[in-house]
Chain A
Amino acid sequence: MKMLAWIAGVILLMGMYVVTIYNKLIGLIEAINNNKKQIDIQLDRRFKVFQSLIEVVKKYMDYEQTTLKDVVALRGQAQAAQSSGDEAGRMAAENGISKIATGLNLVFEQYPDLKANQNVMQLQEEIVNTENKLTFAKQSFNDSIERFNATKKSFFESLIVSFFTSKLDKSFEYWGFSSEQETKDKENYSVKL
């Protein structure tokens, strides 16, 4: 009788342990999903900021028309890739917009009187802010994937994952450059001025 009680106690404890790990892994997966949505939010915000930025810059410089077209085209590409589930293509297109942002800031550097302009300084700050938020959102996303993968692959956790494969055995792709060719494309991209 006493033996039975002991066994029941051990089983109860083990059950509680399994539930804790299960809940922890679910929490980590949801964190990844949320962080991914954060990237979407930042990408969306960036597109809107860029549209209005280029509208403003047009008053000072007449060549921005092509840049705006590039941004709109890349954004279109990204959205098409997203709806067809092509994550790599989407990342490539969005990264292309980042390149343009860097280029825009370089343009400002070339015009000293433009650089001193209060409005332009605000625009520059806005560009840096937008790009940084996006970068940090990606970083946060990758970190949450790292935490999930590390937990999923460690001992005991991996056992429990193999029990509940459909719910827990998810795999996520880190946000980054996906292939060598794409990296080359990005290196060669130049802003048409």
Chain B
Amino acid sequence: MGGAKFTPGSVDWRAVLKENSRKTLSVMVTFVLIYTALGVMTDITIALGLYPQLTIKQAFQLLLQLQIFPYATLSMFVVALIALLITIKLHDKIMLMGTDYFEVTPETARDIDEKQLYNVVEEMKVSAGLRFMPRIYLIEANYMNALASGFSEKSAMVAITRGLMTKLNRAELQAVMAHELSHVRHQDIKLTLMVGVLSNLMLMVVDILFYNAIFGQNQNSDGGRGNPLTMIIILLRYGLPLVTVLLMLYLSRTREYMADMGAVELMRDNESLAKALLKIQEDHECHVDEYHEEYGRTRHEEFRNAAYIFEPSSFDPVKSIMTLLSTHPSVEDRLKAMGCHIEHSSD
């Protein structure tokens, strides 16, 4: 185990928050643009099928002038909206699926640790000026992790494992809960779900276009000219999934940095969160096999992976090679963004 020297520092959290909200905005704009472009492409394909004498350029111009009504684009947006509403409605039910959990309230707190857990969250609620108190769940597990979901009075919740609650001191526990509460404040769940729904729908549309282009072309190969967009559709069919995944991961990491900064904003202290993250990482390194087995035993772990404060797979040797494909920045990068530094020494 390499010893690490930890140096606390200071950070301009206002600037980091601003920078990351800008990044979020650019990701969201990109997503909506791609989605719209796809809709327009579908409309052009339909128009070309109806009026074979048109060129792509003419079809595009007619669409812009609304002389051909963009039914596909519009219906894609309506479908996206409906799908999004349904996912948001159902989402808070699946977050704790498969775990053994317990809701902590001032009345149900069984010992001083649980009381303290409730207290630190309530303090952060005061600090954030939040109008509602999120529900707090304690997950009976030894590994150290925490997660948040929801954004409104009805759906907001934060959850923490017993391992995390007992191994951190009060300030560190508070920092972790501040991070989770910041996910709630920043409405990250809404963003993640929106991006998820949009990218799934996109891939579905591309699939339909793809099969249509391939098989549609075969049928009228005798005389008709195929869809001139076929080349682009084939490229999209294989390229778009990669693009959406990379965009989603970029967004997810941006939101993690923002939640870290949100925690610093609420506590006016970056050291507690930094120390908590280091503790979680070290603890995971010490108990790799044990925790791996425990995570493995818990069902539906995949729903929670991106929501955790610490990504369980990042201590998995195989997956950690693919840091490019991780939903969270590395702990080292997160500490650096918080203005703290760790130096690894050889012993």
Q: List A residues 21-64 near B (Cβ within 8 Å).
A: 31, 34-35, 38, 42
Q: List B residues 99-141 near A (Cβ within 8 Å).
A: 112, 115-116, 119, 122-124, 126-129
Q: In which size bucket is the chain A interface?
A: 10 to 19
CB neighbours (8 Å) of B128 from chain A are 140
Q: Are A133 and B122 in contact (CB under 8 A)?
A: yes
Q: List A residues 66-85 near B (Cβ within 8 Å).
A: none
Q: Are B124 and A136 in contact (CB under 8 A)?
A: yes
Considering the complex, give the chain A residue whose CB is closest to the CB of B122.
Answer: A133
Q: Is B268 an interface residue (CB 8 A)?
A: yes
CB neighbours (8 Å) of A139 from chain B are 127, 268
Q: How far is the CB of B130 from chain A (nearest CB, A)?
A: 10
Q: In which size bucket is the chain B interface?
A: 10 to 19
Complexed CA–CA distance, A124 and B16 (Å): 36
Q: How far is the CB of B27 from chain A (nearest CB, A)?
A: 26
CB neighbours (8 Å) of B119 from chain A are 125, 128-129, 132
Q: Are A129 and B123 in contact (CB under 8 A)?
A: yes
Considering the complex, give the chain B residue whose CB is closest to the CB of A144.
Answer: B129
Considering the complex, give the chain B residue whose CB is closest to the CB of A118.
Answer: B112
CB neighbours (8 Å) of A143 from chain B are 129
CB neighbours (8 Å) of A133 from chain B are 122-123, 126
CB neighbours (8 Å) of A144 from chain B are 129
Q: Is B170 an interface residue (CB 8 A)?
A: yes
Complexed CA–CA distance, A133 and B127 (Å): 8
CB neighbours (8 Å) of A140 from chain B are 126-129
Q: Are A122 and B115 in contact (CB under 8 A)?
A: yes
Q: A35-B129, A139-B268, A144-B129 are in contact. Are A125 and B116 (CB under 8 A)?
A: yes
Q: How far is the CB of B181 from chain A (nearest CB, A)?
A: 12
CB neighbours (8 Å) of B116 from chain A are 125, 129
CB neighbours (8 Å) of A125 from chain B are 112, 115-116, 119
CB neighbours (8 Å) of B170 from chain A are 128
Q: Is A121 an interface residue (CB 8 A)?
A: yes
Complexed CA–CA distance, A139 and B124 (Å): 11
Complexed CA–CA distance, A129 and B120 (Å): 7
Q: How far is the CB of B168 from chain A (nearest CB, A)?
A: 15
Q: Is A145 an interface residue (CB 8 A)?
A: no
Q: Are B126 and A38 in contact (CB under 8 A)?
A: yes
Q: List B residues 229-281 near A (Cβ within 8 Å).
A: 266, 268
Considering the complex, give the chain B residue whose CB is closest to the CB of A41.
Answer: B126
Q: Is A137 an interface residue (CB 8 A)?
A: yes
Select the residue from B116, B123, B124, B128 with max chain A CB neighbours within 10 A: B123
Q: List A residues 119-151 near B (Cβ within 8 Å).
A: 121-122, 125, 128-129, 132-133, 136-137, 139-140, 143-144
Q: How far is the CB of B178 from chain A (nearest CB, A)?
A: 10
Footprint of B on A, CB under 8 Å?
31, 34-35, 38, 42, 118, 121-122, 125, 128-129, 132-133, 136-137, 139-140, 143-144
Complex A-B: 26 CB contacts under 8 Å: A31-B129, A34-B129, A35-B129, A42-B126, A118-B112, A121-B112, A122-B112, A122-B115, A125-B115, A128-B119, A128-B170, A129-B119, A129-B123, A132-B119, A133-B122, A133-B126, A136-B123, A136-B124, A136-B126, A136-B127, A136-B266, A139-B127, A140-B128, A140-B129, A143-B129, A144-B129
Footprint of A on B, CB under 8 Å?
112, 115-116, 119, 122-124, 126-129, 170, 266, 268
**Assuming A136-B127, A139-B268, A140-B127, what are 10 further A-B pairs, CB within 8 angstroms?**
A34-B129, A35-B129, A42-B126, A122-B115, A129-B119, A132-B119, A132-B123, A133-B123, A136-B266, A140-B128
